Amino acid sequence: MTDPFALFDQWYAEARASELNDSNAMTIATADASGQPSARMVLLKGHGPGGFVFYTNQQSRKAGDIAENPQAAILFHWKSLRRQIRIEGRLSPVSDATADDYFATRSRDSQLGAWASDQSRPLDSRETFETRFEEIAERFAGSDVPRPPHWSGYCLVPARFEFWQDREHRLHERRTFVRNGGDWTEGLLYP
């Protein structure tokens, strides 16, 4: 039996070598308490047997969805390899220490942007945002930029994987792995 995390690592390494831009880009699909779905692109910032990690503003729409319904799905699509991986599971917040450690690795402008942005809220003009950014830059001039209290990360703990490989004539290969207690059950799906 194949370990789905080892297979992910293999495919991800190939994608990092072949994709021109953002091989770590993934779609995350969430739904609010009423079931209204929403999908958007985020960047994978960590992964392993513990799950798949990304970061965001805790006041964003996605964070609101996650608070109401922590079930989510992520999707990697690597066109150059003609592959995709779907992963479904439950999201939970990363620790403050983990979020602090990652935030410290971001570029200074990205750190400042996390303070300046009211992500997902209406914005009257681009100029308003740029002015806020400059004000935040002045506020932290000459010092490290701490992680904002409204900015952190989530880890999706997989319950299901699907590895999809494009084949000629739409005779694709679809391998699934479903968590069964502490083990994984492997199977195939018709294309």
Cβ–Cβ < 8 Å for 178, 160: yes
Tell whether the model's pLDDT for residue 20 goes beyond 90: no
Tell whether the model's pLDDT for residue 9 goes beyond 90: yes
| Active site residue ranges | 170
Confidence category of residue 1, pLDDT binned at 50, 70, 90 = low
How confident is the model at residue 182, as a pLDDT? 85
Reported as type and span, the H/E element at residue 41 is strand 37-43
Query: Domains in the chain and their CATH numbers?
Result: 4-104+149-189 (2.30.110.10)
Is-above-0.85 flag for pTM?
yes
- Helices of type H across the chain: 4-18, 61-68, 96-105, 108-116, 126-139
Which residue is listed with tokens 């935030």?
Answer: 103
